[in-house]
Structure 1
Amino acid sequence: MAHYRFNNLLGAPYRGGNLCLRGHHLISSVGNRVSEVDLQLSSSTTLPCENLTEIRCVAVSPSGHHMLSFDTDGRAILVNVRKRVTLHHMNFKGKVTACEFSPCGKSFAVLVGKLVQIWATPTMLKEFAPFRLLRTYGGMYDDATCLAWSGDSQWIIVGGKDLTARIYSANHLDGYAPPTLSGHREPLVAVAFCAQLDGFSCYTISEDGALFEWQLLDDEDEDEDDANGSNKSKRRKKGEAAAAAKKKKPKGRRWRLRGKHFFHMPNKLSCARYHARSGMLCAGFAHGVFTLHRLATGEFNHLQTLSISTQKVTSCEWNETGEWIALGCAKLGQLLVWEWQSETYVYKQQGHYYDVNACAYSPDGALIATASDDNTVKVWSAATGSCFVTFDEHSGPVGAVCFLPSGHAVLSASMDGTVRAFDLMRYRNFKTLTSPDPCQFVSLAVDPSGEIVCAGSLDTFQIHIWSLKTGRLLDIFAGHQGPVNALCFSPESPLLASGSWDKTVRLWDVYDGRGQTDVLQHAHDVLAVAFRPDGKQLAAATLDGQIFLWKPDDARLEGTIEGRRDMAGGKTIGDLRSGANVNAGRAFKTLAYSADGALLMAGGNGKSVCMYDVEGTSLLRKFSLSKSKAMDGTIERLDSSRVTDAGPLDLLPDDDDDDDDDDDANDIPGARAHAAGSSNANNGKKKRKTIRCKHVAFAPTGQGWAASTTEGVMVFAKDAGAAFDPTDLGEDVTPAAARRALRHGDARVALLMALRLRGAEEDEALVREVLEKTPPDAVAGALRDFPPALLSPLIESIAARATRGPHAQLMLRWARELCVAHGRAIHAAAHGGMLLPALRRLSKAFAAMHEDLAATAEASVFLLDYVCAAPPPMQAGA
């Protein structure tokens, strides 16, 4: 029951660093994880691999098989992108600012501080030291910022903060001195090679918007250019001396400044990327504008200018063909792909840029709604991980969100004193529920019929009851002496449970108007309540870290779960408490039951979400939310050597760190004022986010659960590989074994074996034989606990036999029992596009069957009337 694994991360498509665009796959960093977007399917997935701190640089090999991700401490992991596994680890012992694979894929270059290191690409073989350093270059007077390879993988151009660019050789050359290209007045942002017909050239771009074009010329060509631009009189006076010097001077090639171009933008240039094949240049600026230019020898042609936001464009990247340009804005969590020729968006996503307070699954499990401190409500597809609608009508932080039982609308409660209902068909706010007196709503609940809406307030300690159909306020329940921070309707009885900081859980009768029915007293503040799906148990989490299990019918305590020790594991930087009492303030703030009521999820201000067995009140598993050392609460043991007289080193400001991205990454989520991010805030110390879980929600299908955390919404799904299936054993899965199981009445095993062997023509005949020879009464048992991975071939097999042979009624029975047993899973998979081809084929087969039956009945209507009108046969002896 506890076999769940990390599946995706929602609410934070982009957090900073560079972008990689390979084919139709876009790779970006999300905190200490890496997200991959399939632009063809518009789906987003997050790799399960984690770095130890925030990722600031990602590099993908030209083949797209390998990926290197570097964190802020210089540690790197090599990942197999297709298999989503970590291959190797490496510590570069310094801050890595850029990394790029060579076009041939045999090596990669890394900028570590002032050094340029060239490494051989690790192979797929098992090696003791897979990373092999080829050579190291120095000579930079300040940190290097950008690099680029030449098309033949022989040269590397590197730009830095020392206002210069240098060209290094990827291979050893005797007597080669790397040339220095100088003249810029600001640090370099981008460099690029450009192979031209008349020579070899490169571009250097600085923060002040200056683009320098350099060309490699022979000495003779350089002398001719000097002669054309010099004074003829002075050349005549020094003619003989110049001729003699020219004879002695050895012939060679030198880099010469060919031209200067300027962008003329009011803000600094933040990123730039050049596409050598098409000659296109994309430049992003600090005020959210990016421009497209076409570069040629001595030409700087402006094509487009587009504003995507008001914040800095952090990164940009071209695809191989130069048709798409990917852009990212780290401050807003914005990620988009622009097709410049048609001037359309290929992909556009923007996550929550403050804390995600709540999440909720739709009744069919296909959608996930999230509420955040940025005043927005977003709806995501659980299958693709993409946000398809954002509601921004609220004027305050949104603290609670839920779906209507029909799944056609989303409700949200906000601190602005309103409860809003959003239509998922027309994507509009169709109802706004308010209170007579201004108040701040922090909790929300909807009854099973979808007619009654309840919201708990933070300041007035009241519960407001509305009719969603009329929008009229029905009643106001008063009785709590503290904020009502938790509400939950019973699925089976007319009861509403409310939890408050006044150390009570109160049960209310909303329908009959009897008001309060029972009061469940606790020793500490109540932080969360949840009803079991059968309505026969109520769970309440309190401030002392315990979970109380009540029977709501007679207000009797059935059991207690001591969860404070289960939340152990994680100390904050600067924590003065010892390890013995570090968990004194730990408590669960959110609870959720599984669809069958057997599991209880609990999360709070810790780095783990705990899964409990309800019947045995025991801990089954702890799910770690993050391993990032850049966040407080993830390290179990602090290093005392990093504590000084001024405080912990991790909290002291870095004088030499002027990276704006790092400052943005350390902003406290939910802090709206920019003054909070200034150097004067918090006495000049760094701000570190603390890992915590604000809300958990179980999918109605039982196939997964989601947790809204400080890192975003983490989605966990069932691990299909953890469940043992005897048909996966290859030697025993034979056609003879399948027919033997069918003869013995085990239709489920026979069907699983037949589908596993599906592929050849004789194996297709085996599937047809199992479907047709299974008794109608055994169809439901054959589909019990059916693997979701085999649903698509099963539907296709049913569709293929629906219009062939005399078994139409039996195929209809298979389709009906399949929908009854796996309707929710099929609906969720259809929303993600995984089962759509098979379902379309089945629908087409049933439509053809309906047409054939209708034609047959219409042709035989008079015969049927004659048969029905004929008198009954005379019985013998009548």
Structure 2
Amino acid sequence: MNFRFQNLLGAPYRGGNVVVSEDSLLSPVGNRVSVTDLVKSHTLTLPFEATSNISRIAVSPDGNFLLTVDDSSRALYVNLRRRAVLHHITFKKRVTALRFSSDGSLIAVGLGKLLQIWRSPGFRKEFFPFKLVRTFSDCAAAITSLDWSPESDYILVGSKDLAVRLFFLKKTKVRTRPFLFLGHREPVVGVFFSINKKTSRVCRIYTISRDGAIFTWKLDESSNSDDNSGGSILDPPERRNSEGESQENDKVIDNESDKVIGDRKRKRETLIDVDGDTLGIPLHEMKWELSKKDFFMQAPARLTTCDYHRELDMVVVGFSSGVFGLYQMPDFVCIHLLSISREKITTAVFNRLGNWLTFGCAKLGQLLVWEWRSESYILKQQGHYFDVNCVAYSPDSQMLATGADDSKVKVWTVSSGFCFITFSEHTNAVTAVKFMANNHCLLSASLDGTVRAWDLFRYRNFRTFTTPSPRQFVSLAVDQSGEIICAGTTDSFEIFVWSTKTGRLLDVLSGHQGPVHGLMFSPTNAILASSSWDKTVRLWDVFEGKGAVETFQHNHDVLTVVYRPDGKQIACSTLDGQIVFWDPLDGILMYTIEGRRDITGGRLMTDRRSAANSTSGKYFTTLCYSADGSYILAGGSSKYICMYDVADQVMLRRFQITRNLSLDGVLDFLNSKRMTDAGPLDLIDDENSDVDVGVDQQRRGNLGQGLPGSVNNLGRPIIRTKCLKISPTGRSWAAATTEGVVIYSIDESFMFDPTDLDIDVTPEAVDSALSESQHQRALLLSLRLNEDSLIRICIFFCEDIRYTSHCFIHTSEIFAETDGSVF
């Protein structure tokens, strides 16, 4: 019962911006954030959830804090080291840009036309952790990009009004206006400060617009804002004696003018050094000039994303055609211009050193990390295009296979969370996957009328099982010896039997009068159990050829059937929300679990009745026994997965797989204030074309073309569980949901990690720390070594019993080893 969320597979990226912090890549996945360690090749999903899909993320310069903002403008401030949410705040408008300052003390937030500067919270708990410092309302349209100066005194803002503004953050007695950079013909996508490597001062500004133009702005060293005040004082007055003025007055005026001009020249010489950098005049008061205009020349494609690396002075840009370019500035030299996708690149960022480029494509759920110097991939991951239909664990629980509506079969490594092979030979939705007992072969069934066998050594399709006439397969089973493969159909209501070695069709089992959606061999003998929508469960003797040897009648359609691991019990779910248990040996009904109230989920936006009164979705579509057969997991068209005790027929626990309000069926009660004459306000598509198109929007666009995907009538994804599988070890289970493959485990993620060791962590180092009375350091070293004897020694050497009790409270494992005898 102690299963906890561990990871989310099947979708490495779903839209928004990605951030590279040190050697970790952070990417939004629905309402969660996935963290990929690019050095150790390991990915995990942070345990917290946002209220809706995350649209913007930002990481502090020191890598300790993460700020996420979702579609409902709710922000979470997270401690990345501990993976815990510290603070939260809800902004009043939609957040379009987000960035930490260079020193990490401030946060710039673009809220439509407003630019707000907030104080960055710290580790300590505060009643008002977020403090608004300043608000700028100079922009005439929504803000699209932000960049901080190295000293965090200035901020560069680009917006959809085709202008770029340079703001000065320090408050002055007189209100200062931002400096305007004009000239772009389309909305600005990126703005960046460029620094002089010798003096570390701002020397150039780059502005990039959506039409593929990049402008380079430089300081005008010949004049500044003081010179623009007027020419009456700087210019010598004309000597006119027509009005009877004396020559002495003219000489006095000339001397005063020469003095003023000399003072201004000396001031300019002191404020501008030999490299042309300003030393005293604020940047927004200096005169900037357009140095050059360059164009990427990728029309008709639009520039969708860009990033800049200050140390290397390089710019990377991505286009709607799937092409990206890498350019050396300020000379605008093209280093790479390549195509990585056929869809729009939605994010492109540098890592800290600038040797890796990260690209994301929200429409395909694709995430790439490319080393541009060696022209090699560091990471290449792509999720399923549509919903995952089925999952299967390998016999050793190390691999996980998934099949989806996008006609692809993917195999994932459970420990790392990476997909290492994708099979795309199927031409229609994959409905079932199954590992063979030898762990080296994978089977998949599809609606294209084929069952394919995949070699996990050579990564190829070595055998294809077909029927004389095309059929649509929705269920799959293989016996323990691996010699017989069976598949159930949805159109002819038959079960086809093949030989694995020869690939020949051996038999066709007829008798069902509805689609055969459940199929499973007994773990102890060659009896095959099948469930159908004709309200029956049938047992077949495949090897003897006797046909159906037993039939179990039900009052409603049977949706799925599973065997208990010992083969002495079968469980099936019916359309009336019941789980029925049968004894397959004696053919008697054992007991029934009523699960209609347990599986009841949230109310859909289009439902006319509340979730409690609605009859839709109150049944289980997938079942799975535990490894010992003591409990059973059940899921369906709901946000819940129920765990039942088989012997007592009681529910032990109910897991809520998501709290994402961007999905339909999560809320139990709808807000009547959100209802309009045109329908629910959340379903009215009033977004403009500039919003990034993610997986959910792609499903909405394909809805009219009849393509697959679990969406309601108005295109809003519906939360549901299509398949449940428990690992053979019983330590974890996986569920194919609308958001991806959710994995729950009882193994702690902070257990002993061998990668936590280094050359200095040795038993000798523990003895040395004890001899120097460094008890805390000695205890930490012994815990990292995970040696029982060293842990005991460190506890006994603690001189202060209060310190020992403090260690005991924070290290429950020590108490388990010593049984509390020390205290």
Instruction: Please point out which of 690, 702, 705 is paired with 1:659.
Output: 690
The normalised TM-score by structure 1 is 0.78
Instruction: Please point out which of 395, 419, 442 is paired with 1:410.
Output: 442
Instruction: Please point out which of 696, 705, 717 is paired with 2:724.
Output: 696
Equivalent in the alignment of 2:310: 276
Q: Which amino acid aligns with 1:179?
A: F
Deviation at 1:179, TM superposition (A): 0.7
Deviation at 1:221, TM superposition (A): 7.6
1:264 corresponds to 2:297: yes
Deviation at 1:664, TM superposition (A): 4.9
Residues 841-852 of structure 1 mapped to structure 2, 5 A cutoff: none
CA distance in 1, matches of 2:376, 2:747: 38
SS in 2 for 1:657: coil
Deviation at 1:286, TM superposition (A): 0.3
Instruction: Please point out which of 430, 447, 455 is paired with 1:398.
Output: 430
Whether the 8 Å contact between 2:497 and 2:508 is mirrored in structure 1 is yes
In 2 relative to 1, CA 21–361 (structure 1 residues): closer, same or farther, beyond 3 Å?
same
Whether the 8 Å contact between 1:323 and 1:339 is mirrored in structure 2 is yes
1:295 corresponds to 2:329: yes
Deviation at 1:763, TM superposition (A): 7.4
Equivalent in the alignment of 2:623: 591
Deviation at 1:722, TM superposition (A): 13
Instruction: Please point out which of 210, 214, 217 is paired with 1:211.
Output: 214
Deviation at 1:119, TM superposition (A): 1.1
Deviation at 1:248, TM superposition (A): 13
SS in 2 for 1:370: strand
CA distance in 1, matches of 2:795, 2:114: 61
In 2 relative to 1, CA 530–332 (structure 1 residues): closer, same or farther, beyond 3 Å?
same
Deviation at 1:240, TM superposition (A): 11
Residues 733-744 of structure 1 mapped to structure 2, 5 A cutoff: none
CA distance in 1, matches of 2:321, 2:202: 36
Q: Which amino acid aligns with 1:516?
A: A
SS in 2 for 1:667: helix
Whether the 8 Å contact between 1:108 and 1:119 is mirrored in structure 2 is yes
Whether the 8 Å contact between 1:564 and 1:583 is mirrored in structure 2 is no
In 2 relative to 1, CA 704–510 (structure 1 residues): closer, same or farther, beyond 3 Å?
same
Whether the 8 Å contact between 2:700 and 2:716 is mirrored in structure 1 is no
CA distance in 2, matches of 1:150, 1:710: 42
Q: Where do 5+ consecutive residues of structure 1 fail to align? A: 225-235, 724-751, 767-786, 794-878
Equivalent in the alignment of 2:148: 149
CA distance in 2, matches of 1:765, 1:427: 55
Instruction: Please point out which of 547, 551, 566 is paired with 1:534.
Output: 566
Equivalent in the alignment of 1:120: 119
SS in 1 for 2:540: strand
Deviation at 1:554, TM superposition (A): 1.8
Whether the 8 Å contact between 2:15 and 2:695 is mirrored in structure 1 is no
CA distance in 2, matches of 1:183, 1:722: 54
CA distance in 2, matches of 1:219, 1:532: 85
Equivalent in the alignment of 1:870: none
SS in 2 for 1:566: helix
Equivalent in the alignment of 1:475: 507
The normalised TM-score by structure 2 is 0.83
Deviation at 1:667, TM superposition (A): 3.5
CA distance in 2, matches of 1:163, 1:676: 38
Equivalent in the alignment of 1:194: 194
Instruction: Please point out which of 509, 532, 535 is paired with 2:541.
Output: 509
Residues 247-646 of structure 1 mapped to structure 2, 5 A cutoff: 253-266=286-299, 267-296=301-330, 299-646=331-678
Deviation at 1:525, TM superposition (A): 0.9
Q: Which amino acid aligns with 2:656?
A: S
Of 176-185 and 369-378, the range deviating more from structure 2? 176-185
Deviation at 1:497, TM superposition (A): 0.7
Equivalent in the alignment of 2:742: 714
* Deviation string, structure 1 residues 186-221 (Cα, Å, up to 9, x no partner): 111111000136962111100100001112234538
In 2 relative to 1, CA 340–168 (structure 1 residues): closer, same or farther, beyond 3 Å?
same
Whether the 8 Å contact between 2:149 and 2:202 is mirrored in structure 1 is no
CA distance in 2, matches of 1:580, 1:54: 26
CA distance in 2, matches of 1:709, 1:721: 23
Whether the 8 Å contact between 2:601 and 2:611 is mirrored in structure 1 is no
* Deviation string, structure 1 residues 352-404 (Cα, Å, up to 9, x no partner): 01010000000000000000111100000010000000001111110100100
Whether the 8 Å contact between 1:355 and 1:373 is mirrored in structure 2 is yes
Equivalent in the alignment of 2:38: 39
Equivalent in the alignment of 1:133: 132
Residues 784-795 of structure 1 mapped to structure 2, 5 A cutoff: none
CA distance in 2, matches of 1:223, 1:122: 39
Q: Which amino acid aligns with 1:666?
A: Q
Deviation at 1:180, TM superposition (A): 1.1
Identity percentage of aligned residues: 48
Q: Which amino acid aligns with 1:254?
A: K
Richer in helix (by share): 1
Whether the 8 Å contact between 1:20 and 1:58 is mirrored in structure 2 is yes
In 2 relative to 1, CA 285–673 (structure 1 residues): closer, same or farther, beyond 3 Å?
farther
Q: Which amino acid aligns with 1:112?
A: L
CA RMSD of aligned residues (A): 3.1
CA distance in 1, matches of 2:42, 2:322: 25
CA distance in 1, matches of 2:549, 2:691: 56
Q: Where do 5+ consecutive residues of structure 2 fail to align? A: 228-234, 241-253, 269-284, 752-782, 798-810, 818-823
CA distance in 2, matches of 1:761, 1:86: 34
Equivalent in the alignment of 1:748: none
Q: Which amino acid aligns with 2:619?
A: A
CA distance in 1, matches of 2:263, 2:404: 70
Equivalent in the alignment of 2:11: 12
Deviation at 1:580, TM superposition (A): 3.7
* Deviation string, structure 1 residues 135-173 (Cα, Å, up to 9, x no partner): 111111110011011112111101011111111123324
Q: Which amino acid aligns with 1:602?
A: A
Whether the 8 Å contact between 2:731 and 2:747 is mirrored in structure 1 is no
